[in-house]
Amino acid sequence: MNIPSQITTLLAGILLTLISFWYGQNHNLLPVEASKNAASVDNLFNAMLTIGTGIFLLVTGILIYSAIKFRRAPDDTSDGPPVHGNIPLEILWTAIPAIIVLGISVYSFDVYTAEGGMNPMDHSMAHGKAHHQVAAQPGSAIAATLISQAEPTQQKAESVLQDPATNAVREDIPKRKEAPTLGTVTQPQVGSSPEKAGKPPEVVINVTGMQYAWLFTYPGTEVVAGELHVPLGRDVLINISANDVLHAFWVPEFRLKQDAVPGREAELRFTPTREGQYPLICAELCGAYHGAMRTIVVVEPQEAYDTWLQSQQVASAHTLDQAIAANPATMTAEQYLAPYAHEMGLSPEILDQLRPHNGHS
């Protein structure tokens, strides 16, 4: 029974389309969704994979069919028929890829802007007129990122650093940097979220990349952590910067990736939807130990998040108290030398003999 070629082509096209759609929705290639941002990115990926699967099957099928159908017979020494081109066919295979690429471009740009991409049509960004509520943070000194202060603790620290004779703050001991405060940043921003611009975020966190670690500062507290904690189901704004070279903030389960550029502030907004721990990876080559620049994102209920934040504040205050108590400016010579003497095996009697007495050594 001879089946018309038109029907065969139609059946093959239907089968190819069904296989492409099925695989595009059932590939299981992506990690688990853990934020509201993930759905739109996954839909874009599924659409691209569906189209790519269809094109792969079509091209591969034509190659296999041609290799079998038009294979050379063992005793055939003639040349193939001369073909000088087919204008309608050439227009068709040029127009179809152009339409596909244009459609994917428009779809990708829509997802990019919805995810928080910078809008190239917003010229206020280029002229430094963007006003986003972010936590201002020094971008050049690592020490400024490592220390986040509250006003009462700052006063306590400076009181210990005062010279008792003159009641003035000692100049030979570095002062602590100012705390990150909520304010207005007028430098050009990247990664802003246009659809949420009028709604303030519920949680604001500063993220700083440096060789080879991520540091997370929680404005309004003294918490500086090496892992990112966020409350489940809350709108989170993270301000991203770099202290040295180019880094990239990437959480695959959140479908978020944003470059951390020295001298520029970037931001991302997301809402975590699944409790758990997820890897945070640097996705830009930043040096010899780039592969080790990773940490975790902990998504936990609001109660657990509050408990963790309070425990970190207590730990930070305790660490500061220890640092103040160990200030060499307030120690006697014996107190200062005691740890070193213990390591060297020197007894207090030997130290007493070495110390000058009544002007004699």
Q: Which tens digits make up the pLDDT trace of 85-124? A: 888 888 988 999 999 999 999 999 988 877 765 555 554 4
Exposed/middle/buried for 251, CB within 10 Å: 0-12, 13-18, 19+? Answer: buried
CB atoms within 10 A of CB 256: 23
> Residues 143, 272: one domain?
yes
Please, which contacts does 303-306 make with residues 24 or more away whose CB atoms are closer than 8 Å? 305/229, 305/230, 305/231, 305/232
149, 291: one domain = yes
Q: What angle do CA 104, 106, 110 make, to 5 degrees?
A: 115
Identify whether residues 53 and 140 lie together within a single domain.
no
3-state secondary structure of 314: helix
> Domain count of the chain?
3
Q: Could you give phi then psi for residue 34, rounded to 5 degrees?
A: -130, 10
Helices marked H in the chain: 5-25, 38-69, 87-115, 142-146, 151-160, 302-325, 333-344, 348-354
The pLDDT, as a whole number, for residue 283 is 92
The contacts of residue 230 (CB under 8 Å, 6+ apart) are 203, 205, 236, 272, 297, 298, 299, 300, 305
Whether residue 204 sits in one domain with residue 92:
no
Report the alpha-carbon distance of residue 284 to residue 213 in Å, rounded: 13
Mean pLDDT of the chain: 75
Numbers of helices and strands, H then E, in the chain: 8, 15
- The enclosing domain of 149 has a CATH number of 2.60.40.420
Note down the domain range covering 226: 132-324
**304 lies in a domain?**
yes
Range scoring the smallest mean pLDDT among 20-29, 66-75, 313-322: 313-322
Tokens of 58: 């079509």
Q: Encode pLDDT of 280-292 as tens digits.
A: 999 999 999 999 9
Q: Are residues 237 and 352 in the same domain?
A: no
Mark whether 146 and 260 lie in a shared domain: yes
Given a contact cutoff of 8 angstroms between Cβ atoms, the answer to whether 204 and 134 are in contact is yes
Neighbours of 300 (CB within 10 A): 18
> What is the rounded distance in angstroms from the CA atom of residue 91 to the CA atom of residue 86?
9
Residue 230 has pLDDT above 90, yes or no: yes
Buried b (16+ CB within 10 A) or exposed e, 45-74: bbbebbbebbeebeeeeeeeeeeeeeeeee
